[in-house]
Amino acid sequence: MKKRPFLLASALLAGVFVFFLALVIAVASFMGRPTGFALGDKVGVIEVYGVIADSRQIISQLHDFQDDDSIKAIVLRVDSPGGGVGPSQEIHDEVKLVDAEKPVVVSMGSVAASGGYYIAAPAREIVANPGTITGSIGVIMEFTNFQDLLDKIGLSSQVIKSGQHKDIGSPTRPMTNTERALLQSLIDDVHSQFVASVSIGRELDETIVRSLADGRIFTGRQAMAMGLVDTMGNLDVAIRRAAELGGIEGEPKVVYPESEKPRFIDLFIEESLNHLQYALQKQRTTGMQFLWPGFD
């Protein structure tokens, strides 16, 4: 008789646990995301949406899937016009490292251009839609000059600097020929890094890549004809191909990184911030970008 309260309490706790587990699975199903509770071998899907401004979350998700023995392959879903040089290079390098251990397949959405293509280049295979906008292999820096406007309203800028080029790119004075040459040299060097990375990742002759790397964009179908993409297809095609490469038989189970918030809130906030950041970047233009300017 003394054990009965304990057994009842244990049964109650077990029932509560099962209830909340079922609730989590139901909510995840309603939100359109497979959960991490799937048993057996799985394909992990990581999403890269909007302007690439930071690499930490994507790299962390890659590490989590790399360390999970039940995940046999990874799909990187890219829908991005690119972004900062540093974050794009960091994700690129991590994709390369992870792919050496587990196959990484890129699925291109509407846009996977510039930095969006940069992070895709080292993957095992790239799957794109025929109408995906990709390419834009190049580097850009933009500077806005406010000198005429300041003159009209009677404002002037006084600069004290430690060296001749410390205020290079200043919006309050014209750019000199020497400064333009220095910045062009910087752009050319980073552009060469981009070309070399694509050449290695896609196993293409560097001369061929350089001929395509003038900033032009391609459709997914055009990119495939040039060797920049492997096959045509949507996300499901990429998931099935990743499963094949990972040795998974039958219909693959799919998992996404755990999220603390409902997906629609994440997307709303993320997209709002991405568009705000992109607008600010267009105004401030403070650094080099692997970015397709046609995105808005």
Biggest CA–CA distance in the chain, Å, is 93
Q: Tell whether pTM > 0.75.
A: yes
In the set 55, 107, 114, 199, the catalytic residue is: 114
Q: Which domains does the chain have, with CATH numbers?
A: 33-139+217-291 (3.90.226.10)
CA distance 198 to 201: 5
Per-residue pLDDT tens digits of the chain, which is 296 residues long: 445 555 555 666 666 555 655 555 555 444 445 544 556 799 999 999 999 999 999 999 999 999 999 999 999 999 999 999 999 999 999 999 999 999 999 999 999 999 999 999 999 999 999 999 999 999 999 999 888 888 899 988 899 999 999 999 999 999 999 999 999 999 999 999 999 999 999 999 999 999 999 999 999 999 999 999 999 999 999 999 999 999 999 889 999 998 755 455 555 666 666 666 555 554 444 578 878 777 65
CA distance 263 to 29: 12
In the set 29, 157, 161, 166, the catalytic residue is: 166
210 and 124 in contact (C-beta within 8 Å)? Answer: no
Let me know how many helices (H) and strands (E) the chain has, helices first.
10, 10
* Residue in 31, 45, 119 with CA at minimum distance from that of residue 81: 119
Residues facing 105 on adjacent strands: 75, 125
Active site residue 166: yes
